[in-house]
Structure 1
Amino acid sequence: MTAKSNAMTIIFLLISCLLSGCVGDEIQDEKDGTLVIAFEVQADYENIDENPQILADYLSEKMNYDVTLYSVSSEGAMIEALRFGNADVAIMDGGSAWVGWQQYDLEVLGADQKSDGRTYYEAHAWVRADSEMAEAHLDDNRYTDPFALLSGKTSCHTGWLKSAGMLMPMGYLIGLGYANVIGDPNDIETLRNTVFSYFSEDSSIPDSGTPYYGYSGALKCLSEGAGDVAFAKDSTVDSYCNNEDPSENEEWCLEIDEYVPLPAFGRSPSHPVMYNPEIMDVSTMELLTDSLVGMSDDTEGAKILENILNTGGIVKTNAQDHLGSYSTMISNIPGISAYYSDKYDINGTVSPTVDTIRLAFEVKSDYENIDENPQLLADYLSEKLGISVEIYPVTSEGAIIEALRFGTADLAFMDGGAAWVGWKEYGLAAMAADQKSDGRTYYEAHAWVRADSEMANAHLDGEASTDPFALLSGKTSCHTGWLKSAGMLLPLGYLIGNEYAEVIGDENDISSLRDTIHNYFSENSSIPDSGTPYYGYSGALKCLSEG
């Protein structure tokens, strides 16, 4: 081989080795993808183990991704970063996560665990064991409603706009029609008036640093008799009043069996791991989820969870499972979306989350007056909401309830009796009520008597000991018709509930009501059929007037 050939061979080998080394380095350093974590990064960390860069480095190794941090200054900035693709993932609190999910279609891939392993705590109304609310809750009678008995009581909240102490219970009470929104439904300050209206002007909405602030403060408020109900989480009583070492209990604690929790309002979620499904692909989401969930099984990962994320572990979940119960409550709060948008400094408008609303309505086969056609209502709502609104025709109030129960309709107008059945038996909720000609959303049911009757004398004599309702026993009653609301159901419900009248017959058979009427009043009592002289309101009054 010539010198020239040897030189060329050596040069070729050197170049080959150089290129091989370069290629080898590229293969060694090549990552499978990139991931950006939005995080509120501090300017300096006194404890180096709390630096989130450690989390990024850990995930980079586990996923073989180039993982970097995107520094943000607020939860709102996290939402914006996920919305516009500046970051792929963020861990945030339940309130901001709810906004991201409801308004911007962000999703949840995991949630951190609390000390007991749960990813939530339950919000309860705590009452004294000797209260009428506790009695109604524990009597195994589905028709004695402890939440209805909260009206007019003095409530103890943990603070203004606190989750378990205010937002969740008030969202529950408003959503199920117990409490009416008092004021502008788009102003969060309306909630204060709503609290005072449904409960009492003396209700406690404490500021930070005052004696009844926080979970311990709300329970102290109840324990000391300053309030009738405390809104707190499921572990509150045990945390302050049921420690293994009694000396650790608060001095104001009552005996543990003197506290009774009413059924939970819902679940307040732990911190979820949020991402934008329109930007992050499924394979990356699944790889990240597996890496985060597996951290608790790894010594290094467990240390990072504790020091940086303040949790013992992360579990796999989704937005509906993790935030659904919370959302049901929070969305009923007046002005809550605007409040959170301002709090998190988010720009954007609320948009509907459904494409179509189906309105159940008893539709006639033909309308002589075209202005009475419910399609006009559907068209109006469609224009205002910017989505399709369809009429779902039904033939009865019962069919309306069935349509709402099974999801074939989303909304319906119905009378009070049917609405009550839907609420009590099937968990339907009221969102609004129509007004009568005088602006009220109700009318009052009365027993009308002749001015010269002993019942009138007992009512007007100013004596508390003379009871006009007791004097109704044995009298001939005039009802508007069978199972009419003001003419039968309300008065008999009152008389039975207050133990004036005794139920005669099977308590589970509606026909027993007729025997109850004839037993308490008279065999001659009027329960007219439609079309007879004493039917309806005019008929009942005619019955009284004609003696």
Structure 2
Amino acid sequence: MQLLFVALLCCLAIVSAAPTTTIKWCVISDLELRKCNDLAQRSPIFACVRKENPLACIVAIKAGEADAITLNGGDIYTAGLNNYDLAPILAETYHGPSHDACFYSVAVVKKNTAFGLRDLRGKKSCHTALGDPEGWNLPIGTLLSKGVIDWGGADDKPLLQAVSEFFSASCVPGAQGQTNLCQLCKGDCSESSSNDYYSDAGAFKCLDEDAGQVAFMKATEIPASKKNNYELLCDDNSRAPIDNYKTCNLGREPAHAVVTRKDPQLAELIWTSLTSVRGINLFSSENYGGKNLMFSDTTARLQQVPPDTDSFLYLGAEYMSKIRSLLQDLPRSLSTTALKWCAVGHAELAKCDLWSGNSINPDTGNSAVECQSAPTVEECFKKIMRGDADAVAVDGGQVYTAGKCGLVPVMGEQYEEARCSIPGASISSYYSVAVVKKNSGVTWATLKGKILVILAWAEQLVGTSPWCKGSGKAVGDQAKCKANSDELYYGYAGAFRCLVEGAGDVAFIKHTIVGENTNGNGPDWARDLRSDDYELICPGNSNSVPINNYESCNLALVPAHAVITRPEIQREVVRVLMDQQAKFGPHGSDDKFRMFVSENGKNLLFKDSTKCLQEVQGSSYESFLGTDYMTALDSLRKCSTDTPALENSCTFQTCQ
């Protein structure tokens, strides 16, 4: 009956949604209108709507008065906000050897200087133009998000004033009326040829002629003949050669994208209509007296964005943190007085609610922790990127996915108590092992072609397997194969239980799991289990070995679970969690709650074996995971079709 009702609703939705027969393109200048009218003449499915600026177009598309527009990263961010809820559907890719779908902003300096990115106060700066991604938004956003430029927001002072006070002198084309920001410009301070220091070429010329000491610009616009005389400033305060811009930069500006309402049929119509246009070059503006009209002139082709990719997945958390900093949208602080923790599944939410209640400050009545819930870790990542949640603890494979979306690991679980008292101690790691029942006859060789699929989900096994158990309910079990604690075969202990109960022949788990769930340890289902009834199988070996031989028989050394958050709030997250574990850790001052104990489940919110959380040294997910683990996951993604959908949305652009 329920399925029939859902089907009826779907039919009603189809009937009530009248098919779109015209694509109303929104333009923001008379020159764009000329080009759009030319397009409409050649392809009558298009019509043109003239508005004054991108925001007016965004409002019109939301209201149905227009259907589509091509936007840059900053405007894509605005379009994705809840009050507009538009989404990118087509991305531009650009001419070049790799058809990169984005570009990098860099800070260029002369080699004979000796300062880093964090030493720019009082220096003279050259910028491409006010509001340009490469010359303003990304570099200034980076300096703000890292606290290099201290700005309290518009209520404190205008952003331009804060930047003017930070640099001793600048050329920021377009910043007329700001004396200090126009002081270095040659000619006037306009965004035109009457200002010799306008654009990427102008910003570099400003540096090359010693007017400025640092140029913020697009990496690929540095003249090849002069590269050897210059270096890049990296965000870790080091320097690098010019050609290292993909690892030493101030951020990636994603490709411009066509945005529209979240309507798959409309998105498909826009795609098929644009790709069938004949008689006009969509990616040229030379016949209309302008540049970058409707689309960027450097566009080689359009690329469909993966389904269900919203603006925030398209942009990535790192880019959004810089945009938020420019907008002073709660930079470097939590969105409320509390840390919003994302709980996955009912059992985790119950524990989180208990944590929240015990975190209330009796003097203020405010909680230090609030709880958000999501059905999966991926949904938690989306909430964190949007700012609806702040943090979640996840395993190494999920750290990889989060990192691809621009989120960062800030604290790692430490499983060795002795290391908790050592400042800067390395975060715990553990071995991933393949466990079978003793004398089962299962060896590495007999796994054959199933290995890759199983390994792809070694840490996120539930969600693909037809042998999932669910919550144990007889009928109507909505938990079956859900990637959360409601599924009895979820996680490491769940994977071992899957083996124990005969649902699977091999369990890919952490090396400590067998010991934690045998010989009198573990929950009720493990009460009568003995560790010597299980053994390990080794890659490339037909023999099996005892459980305690994990150092010589394992799949990989895996990093500990880590707390993931947005880049701009990592310091606040660390502060709150350090305070919370001082109260609710194993040796905490308040025994009413324990962060690392799960009374109604296993490994809820954190691993039960956690002794403390320790701050990650360096926020790069690559450095946290380590070279070997990164290489293994990179290789796995290339040969597996099971890459998480979220990861596909975050990485489809070729420069990521």
TM-score, length of structure 1 as denominator length: 0.48
**Whose helix fraction is larger, Structure 1's or Structure 2's?**
1
Q: 1 or 2, which has the higher strand percentage?
A: 2
* Structure possessing the higher radius of gyration over alpha carbons: 1
Q: TM-score, normalised by structure 2?
A: 0.41
